A and B are shown apart, each in its own frame.
Chain A
Amino acid sequence: MLTRASDYIDLKNGTVDRRIFWEQSIYERELERIFARCWLFVAHESQLPNTGDFITASMGEDGVIVARAADGKIHVSLNSCPHRGNRVCFSDSGNTRAFVCNYHGWGFGLDGGLKGMPEERLYRATPGFQKKDWGLRQARVESYLGLVFATFSEEAPTLAEYLGDFRWYLDAVLNPEEGGTEFLPGVTRSVMTCNWKIPADNFSGDIYHALWTHLGGAEPTLGKKGGVKIDNENSWQVSVNGHGWEFGTNMIGNAATMGDREILRYMKSRSDSIAARLGAFRRDMWGSVASATVFPNFAFLPGYFSFRIFNPVGPHKTDLYAWTLVPKNMPAEIKERFRLGTMRTFSPGGILEMDDGENWEHCTATNAGYVTRHQRLCYSLAPSGEEHTPDLPGIVHRGQLSDANQRQFYKRWAELMDAPTWAEIPMAAPTKQISEVA
């Protein structure tokens, strides 16, 4: 039984107690203290261009409806009728004026408010009953550069504070071009029988696995002598408030594994323009060999621009939803190439993604063994110490091949798990002027 989560994480020696990937009691506390309190990704604004557009999503195990209402705002409503609890919306997406519960016909607006029900006069005759008290529960909703996040915590800091200086890095993939970004239509959805933290920590800082896991997948496009090469002198790990990004600095390294010369030609043609917009450093991050996690479970791959959530379904099962993000102004022909290139590499049948799921499943399943789960895992790789550079915000380590970000991920995990209120959760002080682009 969990007492203090920090006892499960040894930052000094870089070890993690394996019970955090297995035990139901730890998982229940994650739902309460992480998934019910953090800002969670729910949609890209481009998925909801018109009034009445909606998608359904999950925040932890809480189902939600994400809808654009007549006021133009995006509302996130709990997808459960407050009358008897039934799921209200069963569609993955659509356009509607109202959501009507199948059970007794209670109807809710795009903003979640209770609009009416059969035999409404009986409720009007009921002392104390007011429709305004019985809408779908609303989450707080905020956006950053097209990405919509929500939280059910009233006391959470703003999204801007939650992301903190990580926004400065996020601009490398969310703001390289004029005109904003969009998701290509369609979401790939699959399930992995693994604990949600295993892929989330992987994306925050584990390029190390690519050298071995992805040998078979990388060889057909990069060649036998190619493989994924890492230059540990000219690559970085950065972490802010548990969000982590490991990256190289050659601008196109990840994109190259899609094996499409036209994509690389196009990306190179954008080099000067992106450098003028974001500076050379973030230009070089744009499509480099890299991966990132926005704590707790939103992750992306620069270069493929696959954005994904690892949503928990119990301690041993994770739903993986993935979308492809492109600048709106990208030529249609190049968008088409990304649609196909991302599918061929990072989708459930992608030549790179296929190699990951099986590893993560068995990293989870082995913990069924009592002796096995009472071992600690090695997160100690630290070839270089923390660097303090005025240019780069956050906790910065030189060298992608490192467990630095993953240790920060678990540090953050323990901070949230052990804090009864948001006031006790430390926040990194902002050091960068972040450009607020609408």
Chain B
Amino acid sequence: MDVATARGAAEQLLTPWAQGAPVDEALLRRIERFLYKEARFLDQEQHRDWYALLAEDVFYWMPLRENRQRRDTRREIDPDNVALFDERKADIDLRIKRLETGKAWIEDPAGRHVYSITNIEAFETGTPGEFEVLSVFTLYRNRALRDESTLMGRRRDILRSVDGDFQIARRLILLQQAVLLTKNLSVFF
């Protein structure tokens, strides 16, 4: 994915939310099922199963957050800024490979995660077969004896309907912390 395409994907994720018609109940249920399955893959460290849910042209983005005065006219979230994740599919493969080396010592013994996905809404987009999906995640992590952290945030996805299931084509992850209050992001969202 070249830079212009990536910037276009980022801009798509920054457009106003929930402008399309809500999807029907049956489709919403299928989308919910997809998100719960995805969360289960992450809970259980089935990273390759999760990876298979990403579209080949996925744009996966967790921008930084900043405290700004309300009158500040600059965009808080800007695709040109340094980010926490700003990934294409090959970059995510690289991150999973780190876990697969068996030499990421801080992952051994394994930590415990639980993802809770709520506030799911889905809307039609201008592109047939692509849906805007909003959700809220809570990720609780616990490691060793008493290391723990809870990360909460919002996601805005573009899910693409493919062969009766979905793929994640775009994902914006908005963590609601300006200073990351956990020691690392050795996780996916």
Q: Given A186-B82, A215-B101, A351–B94 Cβ distance below 8 Å? A: yes
One of A143-151, A166-174, A336-344, A372-380 contacting the partner: A336-344
- B97-126 residues at the A interface, CB under 8 angstroms: 97-99, 101-107
Given contacts A184-B82, A349-B185, whether A191 and B91 have CB atoms under 8 Å apart is no
Cβ of A189 and Cβ of B179 under 8 Å apart? yes
User: B103, A191: Cβ atoms under 8 Å?
Assistant: no
B68 touches A348 (CB 8 A): no
Does A354 make an interface contact (CB < 8 A)? yes
| Majority secondary structure, B binding face | loop
Alpha-carbon separation in the docked complex, A328 to B48 (Å): 40
B85 contacts A by Cβ under 8 Å = yes
CB distance from B170 to the nearest CB of A (A): 17
Partner of B85, one of A92, A189, A221, A349: A349
Shortest A118–chain B CB gap in Å is: 20
A-chain residues with CB within 8 Å of residue B80 when the two chains form the complex: 185
Interface size class of A (residues with CB under 8 A): 35 or more
B159 at the A/B interface (Cβ < 8 Å)? no
Bound state CA distance, A340 and B85, in angstroms?
A: 9
Mark each residue of chain A from 70 to 98: 1 if its CB lies under 8 Å from any CB of chain B, else 0: 00000000000000000000111111100
Complex Cα distance, B175 from A190, in Å, reads 13
B185: chain A residues within 8 A (beta carbon): 348-349, 354
Per-residue CB contact flags for chain A residues 179-221 toward chain B (1 = under 8 Å, else 0) read 0000011111111110000000000000000001101110111
B12 within 8 A of A: no
Distance in angstroms between the alpha carbons of A354 and B102 in the assembled complex: 15
Closest to A192 in B: B183
- Verify A187–B82 contact, CB threshold 8 A: yes
Q: Could you tell me if B94 and A259 are in contact, using CB atoms closer than 8 angstroms?
A: yes
How far apart sit A193 and B146, CA to CA, in the bound complex (Å)?
13
Most interface-central of B102, B181, B182 (chain A CB within 10 A): B182
Complex contacts, A188 vs chain B, CB 8 Å: 64, 82, 84, 180
A355 beta carbon closer than 8 Å to chain B:
yes
**How distant is the Cα of A193 from the Cα of B183 in the complex, in angstroms?**
8
Q: Judging by beta carbons under 8 Å apart, are A347 and B84 in contact? A: yes
Contact A92 B66 (CB under 8 A): yes
Which residues of chain A are near B84, meaning CB under 8 Å? 188, 343, 347-349
Which residue of chain A has the shortest Cβ distance to B64 in the bound complex?
A186
Pair A186/B103 contact, Cβ less than 8 Å = no
CB distance B184 to A358 under 8 Å?
A: yes
Q: How far is the CA of A342 from the CA of B91 in the complex (A)?
A: 13
Interface status of B127 (Cβ within 8 A of chain A) = no
Asked if B27 lies at the interface with its beta carbon under 8 angstroms from chain A, I say no
The answer to whether A343 and B83 touch (CB under 8 A), given A215-B101, A354-B106, is: yes
Given A185-B78, A343-B82, residue A357 in contact with residue B101 (CB < 8 A): no
Given A190-B182, A358-B184: A217 and B81 interface contact (C-beta under 8 Å): no
Query: A95 CA to B66 CA in the complex, in Å?
Result: 14
A353 neighbours in B (Cβ, 8 Å): 184
What is the distance, in angstroms, from B173's C-beta to the closest C-beta of chain A?
A: 11
A297 at the interface (CB under 8 A from B): no
A333 to B95, CA, bound (A): 23
Residue pair B98, A91 in contact (C-beta under 8 Å): no
Does residue A361 face the partner (Cβ distance < 8 Å to B)? yes
Which residues of chain A are near B180, meaning CB under 8 Å? Answer: 188-191, 348
Say yes or no: A357 contacts B184, CB within 8 Å.
Answer: yes
Closest residue to A324 on the B side, CB-wise? B82
B123 to chain A, nearest CB (A): 29
Asked if A319 is at the interface of the complex by the 8 Å CB criterion, the answer is yes
Is B19's CB within 8 Å of the partner chain A?
Answer: no
The reply to whether the CB of B69 lies closer than 8 angstroms to some CB of chain A is yes
Please state if B103 and A216 are interface contacts (CB–CB under 8 Å): yes
Is B86 an interface residue when CB atoms closer than 8 A count as contact? yes
Enumerate chain B residues within 8 angstroms of A212, measured Cβ to Cβ.
Answer: 105
Q: Does B26 contact A (CB under 8 A)?
A: no
- List 26 interface pairs A-B (beta carbons < 8 Å), by A numbering: A91-B69, A94-B69, A95-B72, A185-B80, A185-B81, A189-B64, A213-B105, A216-B104, A217-B98, A219-B98, A220-B94, A220-B98, A324-B82, A336-B3, A340-B91, A344-B94, A344-B95, A347-B82, A348-B84, A349-B184, A349-B186, A354-B106, A355-B104, A357-B183, A358-B106, A358-B183
Residues of chain A touching chain B, judged by Cβ–Cβ distance below 8 Å, are 90-96, 184-193, 212-213, 215-217, 219-221, 259, 319, 323-324, 333, 336, 339-340, 342-344, 347-349, 351, 353-355, 357-359, 361
Going nearest first, the 7 A-B pairs with the smallest beta carbon separation are A349-B185, A186-B82, A186-B81, A216-B104, A216-B103, A220-B97, A190-B180
Q: Chain B interface (Cβ within 8 Å of chain A)?
A: 3, 62, 64, 66-69, 72, 78, 80-86, 91, 94-95, 97-99, 101-107, 147, 178-186
Given A188-B180, A358-B184, 8 more contacts at CB 8 Å?
A92-B66, A92-B67, A94-B68, A186-B83, A187-B82, A190-B181, A216-B101, A339-B82
